[in-house]
Amino acid sequence: MSAPLAGKVALVTGASRGIGKGIALVLAEQGATVYITGRTVREGDYYLPGTVGGTAAECDERGKASGGTGIAVACDHGDDAAVAALFDRIASEQGRLDILVNNAFTLSDDLLEPKGFWEKPLANLEMWDVGVKSNYVAAWHAAKIMAPQGSGLIVAISGFAAVTYTYGVIFGTSKSAVDRMARDMAIELEPHGVASLTLWQGLTLTEKAKDNLAKMGDRMTKSITSMQGSSVEHPGRVIAALAADPDVMKRSGGEYVTAELAQEYGLTDIDGSVIASARATRGSPIWKPISEADYRGK
């Protein structure tokens, strides 16, 4: 029996470590050729472990049985020229793109500082550059490949911050913008058979999250830290299921709680646990899939 994602080509942005790495590993394990972007090329360049090359090597290892592979590309998603070159490379080498996961997001150093937005530097708008604008630019390039081939899946990694105050104005606005962007893209991509949606992550036990919990757990939002944390691979399992779902277009335009989709698809975390949804304490998605609600202007 062939691997679920055999022959599929994916791009996961911001995958040197964290959620992006976990997603890339799962996609490769299930047979996909996965392009992995990130800014960390050498260990020690960043205070946490992980590099784009390291993730690619792990993808190769995980994909041995399925034919999945990892391809590392050092790329700053704040550099539009570098992003254009990335997509040109994918088109040249693969001739197609089936999955784009927009995960890259710059987190300001003072994210957890309990200060007003006017007390923090305007430089924190970098979260809009790599987190909002970068999503648009990557999706723009991806759509130019996906629309002509008549298929594809674009996933934006978002969260409950889209509806619940979390870590400040810029962070929450970024997540809200990403969700609305994915919804509107879904409307324009629908005639071309390309799905666009967002996944809402709860507490994900990334290297950064673990470090923050250990050093600054008291500054983190309590409704987040009290949640059941998932592994970084859990969202990857959900994305792989979406990519293999022949009815994925029915979900296009929607916001989905990752934990809830996992339960719909009968998926557990890597330790066999069922991750609980944080909807009751963190809030509910706004946008339904466009197959269920007409958001087009009259």
DSSP 130: I
Domain presence at residue 19: yes
Residue 217 — pLDDT band, cuts 50, 70, 90?
Answer: low
For 47-70, the pLDDT digits (tens) are: 777 899 999 999 999 999 999 999
Cα 206 off chain centre by: 13
pLDDT in tens, 101-155: 999 999 888 998 889 999 999 999 999 999 999 999 999 999 999 999 999 999 9
Q: Is the dihedral of CA 103, 73, 22, 186 positive or negative?
A: positive
Domain membership of residue 231 (yes or no) is yes
Q: What pLDDT is attached to residue 69?
A: 98
**Domain extent at residue 258:** 9-282
Judge whether 177 lies within some domain: yes
Write down the mean pLDDT value for the chain: 92
Identify whether 167 is part of a domain.
Answer: yes
Percent of the chain past pLDDT 70, that is, above it, reads 92
Angle 245-246-247 (CA atoms, 0-180°, nearest 5)?
A: 90
- Domain CATH code at residue 156: 3.40.50.720
Per-residue pLDDT, 224: 60
What's residue 52's pLDDT? 95
Question: E-strand spans in 172-296?
Answer: 194-201, 255-257
Is 295 part of a structural domain of the chain?
no
Would you say residue 296 has pLDDT above 90? no
Q: Is residue 255 part of a domain?
A: yes
Task: Tell whether 290 is covered by a domain.
Answer: no
- pLDDT, tens only, 189-212: 999 999 999 999 988 877 666 765
Q: Would you say residue 38 has pLDDT above 90?
A: yes
Q: Domain for residue 297, yes or no?
A: no
pLDDT at 117 (0 to 100): 96
Number of domains in the chain: 1
Give pLDDT, residue 227: 66
Mean pLDDT lowest for which of 39-53, 162-176, 177-191, 250-264?
39-53
8 Å CB contact between 200 and 257: yes
